């Protein structure tokens, strides 16, 4: 052997050892620790590189090579289970284009020695779920054991945890319409997974626990990781709190008869599993030939984002069980099946910057600006870090190499930082830690984080450009100042065209500006002008509610208006004075104080007053001193001129109480047209009935 050949072999040998070491480490982190360190796409690339090297040097293949086994070792904390029928993997077709399906069909036809004139091969096309493979053993129709795949030969006994999964039957259904009963021994194989909505809700709960200071809590990397962690919990009570789901897709041991004697096709087997009580994915189809395989792959790819759970590809299986037996296996993979992948949903990239975005409700969210990377079928340049705690927990810093995930229509997020080498760790340590800014990056108002909250929020709700649409819609709603006809689409038009920048701009709108908007008729424009004019006369409590102060709902706004009587008194009140109001606690008091401490918010309030918005103010006497104090009213039917909310506001402003039901304690029932059962009950109880004019007279007399 020449010197160059020797040097090449030495280099190949070193590369082979390096690849095996990297894959062993990735397997351990993924299967044993439930803490993946590299994306699936990177793992597949390393695996293919190792396969190519071993193909060049067959004598270097050893039994402990990652290419010679299915997965990781069982956890020591669980009892070992030896699978009666090995849980083998299937070959992955890494060609994500249509040619991948064509290549599989061509291989099958070649192995079966079919001519071009022969009929198309029939396949079952299934989804490739992104979860944890499980073997469920039933004896006499009762679940007796559940085991993970493990290394394919030996798994882990996770029966107690699997019993907590509602979709997995503890006892099988007796299917009367089947020609055969449930086998005495039946091992069902499938995937435990977590739906995307369940995963997002779980992580949101975890973020709340972290924000509240609970120890040992963390968010989860992805639904697969969360599902695997739940299945491997030593405490079944913890597993029961994790929302897991299940799909069945095959069998292991079946006794006393083999599967081939019970069914002719794989689809018949799936139909039997469904009849016995197992969930089988609705998307599963019988298809014929390469063209229908391609059509299935394309259809699922186009609708993948609409699925409620993650998949990373589809699976093709020859439908005939007799043909499956003829095709057999190569190494540890069946010739009759293949997994056809889609573009990876996790990839590695670099963090170029960390910006802070302000949402329409004022929430501040740190967002990583990324070197563009193709993930899940799209090019991603931004990924959320959720909040300051999450950014710090993941310890993401500008310049880091990170794993980015995009699944379905979920906003892309940074999963973790890649620090697999000492030099990467050292460089990471030199970079600045992310800190949330003290002020809103859009308007400069104070950014506040309330006790027990995970999120920071901008306190300049009336002034902040990022919150304009939400602030206007809230102010104009029926229960606030009520500007009839000012809906989502019109507000969006006005804001996007920069006609309105702050709330007072609403009252500076003229007929001409409105009529010039697209699809705005003259009559509609005049109606808006009239509605704006009408809305200028309101009540203090409606105006307060309309300001959109965090935690100040209708009830709190009413309590504030009753207690203080005037807006200036509320705006200048200290936290201690605010705490004297019923329905106001420390968090609400601080929120009100913070809102009115912002000069921008005070300026908007003064401008609204200058535009003509007004209300009747008082001295803030207690309800006991008000004329209708101690009286309870019930409103029923439609009043001639007063709206239900207006009538309620006037009664409450005079110290009265408005109830939703009639009883002996009711003082008066105010009845309009089409009054129903409440009026009938009032008459039965002999209560005093008022019409609108009598109510207005009572309110006038007590002014």
Q: How far lies 539's CA from each of 172, 535, 547, 649, in Å?
A: 64, 10, 13, 8
Cβ–Cβ < 8 Å for 78, 156: yes
Cβ–Cβ < 8 Å for 483, 444: no
333-334 and 329-330 beta bridge pairing: antiparallel
* Burial (CB count within 10 angstroms: exposed 0-12, middle 13-18, buried 19+), residue 445: buried
Largest CA distance in the chain: 115
Cβ–Cβ < 8 Å for 530, 502: no
Q: How far lies 188's CA from each of 133, 286, 433, 579, in Å?
A: 11, 21, 49, 61
- The span from the CA of 309 to the CA of 129, in Å, is 8
Nearest to 639 by CA among 677, 695, 684, 591: 695
DSSP code string of 599-652 = HHHHHHHHHHHHTT-B--------GGGSTTTT-EEEEESB-SS--HHHHHHHHH
Residue 664: active-site member: no
Half-sphere exposure of 677 (CA within 13 A, CB side): 3
Q: In this structure, how many other beta carbons lie within 10 angstroms of the beta carbon of residue 263?
A: 18
Nearest to 634 by CA among 662, 653, 673, 656: 662
Cβ–Cβ < 8 Å for 396, 390: no
Q: How far lies 685's CA from each of 434, 478, 603, 634, in Å?
A: 67, 34, 53, 13
Q: Which residues contact 352 (CB under 8 A, 6 or more apart)?
A: 369, 370, 371, 398
Cα angle value 257/263/266 (rounded, 5°): 125
Which among 3, 110, 128, 523 is annotated as catalytic? 128
Q: Residue 343 gets which letter from DSSP?
A: S
Q: Which residues are catalytic?
A: 128
């Amino acid at each position: 052997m020449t010197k160059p050949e020797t040097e090449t072999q030495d280099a190949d040998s070193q590369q082979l050892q390096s690849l095996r070491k990297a894959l062993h480490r990735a397997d351990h982190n993924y299967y044993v620790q439930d803490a993946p360190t590299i994306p699936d796409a990177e793992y597949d690339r390393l695996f293919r590189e190792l396969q190519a090297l071993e193909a060049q040097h067959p004598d270097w293949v050893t039994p402990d090579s990652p290419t010679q086994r299915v997965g990781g070792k069982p956890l020591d904390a669980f009892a070992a289970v030896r699978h009666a029928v090995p849980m083998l993997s299937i070959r992955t077709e890494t060609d994500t284009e249509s040619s991948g399906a064509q290549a599989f069909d061509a291989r099958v036809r070649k192995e079966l020695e079919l001519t071009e004139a022969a009929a198309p091969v029939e396949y079952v096309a299934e989804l490739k779920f992104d979860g944890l493979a499980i073997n469920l053993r039933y004896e006499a129709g009762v679940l007796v054991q559940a085991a993970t795949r493990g290394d394919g030969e030996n798994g882990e006994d996770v029966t107690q945890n699997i019993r907590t999964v509602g979709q997995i039957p503890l006892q099988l259904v007796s299917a009367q319409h089947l020609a055969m009963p449930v086998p005495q021994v039946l091992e069902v194989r499938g995937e435990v997974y977590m739906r995307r909505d369940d995963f997002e809700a779980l992580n949101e709960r975890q973020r709340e626990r972290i924000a509240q200071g609970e120890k040992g809590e963390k968010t989860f990397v992805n639904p697969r990781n969360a599902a695997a962690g739940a299945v491997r919990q030593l405490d079944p009570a913890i597993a029961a709190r994790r929302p897991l789901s299940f799909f069945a897709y095959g069998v292991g041991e079946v006794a006393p008869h083999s599967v081939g004697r019970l069914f002719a096709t794989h689809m018949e087997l799936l139909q039997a599993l469904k009849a016995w009580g197992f969930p089988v994915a609705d998307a599963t189809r019988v298809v014929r030939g390469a063209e229908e395989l391609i059509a299935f792959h394309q259809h699922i790819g186009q609708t993948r984002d609409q699925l409620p759970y993650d998949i990373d590809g589809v699976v093709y299986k020859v439908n005939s069980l007799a043909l499956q037996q003829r095709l057999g296996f190569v190494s540890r993979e069946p010739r009759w099946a293949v997994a056809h992948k889609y573009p990876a949903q996790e990839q590695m990239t670099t963090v170029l910057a960390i910006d802070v975005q302000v949402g329409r409700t004022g929430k501040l969210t740190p967002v990583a600006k990324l070197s563009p990377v193709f993930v899940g079928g799209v090019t991603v340049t931004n990924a959320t870090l959720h909040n300051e705690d999450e950014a710090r927990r993941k310890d993401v810093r500008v310049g880091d190499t990170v794993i980015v995930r995009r699944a379905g229509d979920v906003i892309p997020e940074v999963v973790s930082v890649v620090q697999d080498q000492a030099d990467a760790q050292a460089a990471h340590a030199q970079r600045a830690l992310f800190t949330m800014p003290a002020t809103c990056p859009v308007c400069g108002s104070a950014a506040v984080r309330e006790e027990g909250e995970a999120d920071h929020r901008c306190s300049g709700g009336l002034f902040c450009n990022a919150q304009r649409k939400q602030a206007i819609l809230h102010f104009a709603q029926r229960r606030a100042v009520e500007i009839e006809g000012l809906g989502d689409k019109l507000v969006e038009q006005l804001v996007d065209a920069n006609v309105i920048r702050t709330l007072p701009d609403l009252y500076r709108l003229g007929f001409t500006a409105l009529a010039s908007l697209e699809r705005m008729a003259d009559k509609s424009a005049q109606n808006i002008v009239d509605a704006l004019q009408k809305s200028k006369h309101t009540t203090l409590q409606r105006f307060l509610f309309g300001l959109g102060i965090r935690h100040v709902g209708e009830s709190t706004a009413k309590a504030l208006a009753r207690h203080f009587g005037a807006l200036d008194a509320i705006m200048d009140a200290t936290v201690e004075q605010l705490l004297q109001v019923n329905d106001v606690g420390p968090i609400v008091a601080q929120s009100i104080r913070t809102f009115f401490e912002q000069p921008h918010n005070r300026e908007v309030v003064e401008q609204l007053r200058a535009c003509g918005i007004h209300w009747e103010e008082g001295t803030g006497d207690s309800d006991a001193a008000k004329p209708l104090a101690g009286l309870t009213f019930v409103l029923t039917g439609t009043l001639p001129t007063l709206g239900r909310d207006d009538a309620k506001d006037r009664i409450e402003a005079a110290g009265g109480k408005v109830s939703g039901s009639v009883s002996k304690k009711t003082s008066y029932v105010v009845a309009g047209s089409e009054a129903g059962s409440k009026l009938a009950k009032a008459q039965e109880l002999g209560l005093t009935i008022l019409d609108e004019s009598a109510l207005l007279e009572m309110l006038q007399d007590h002014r």
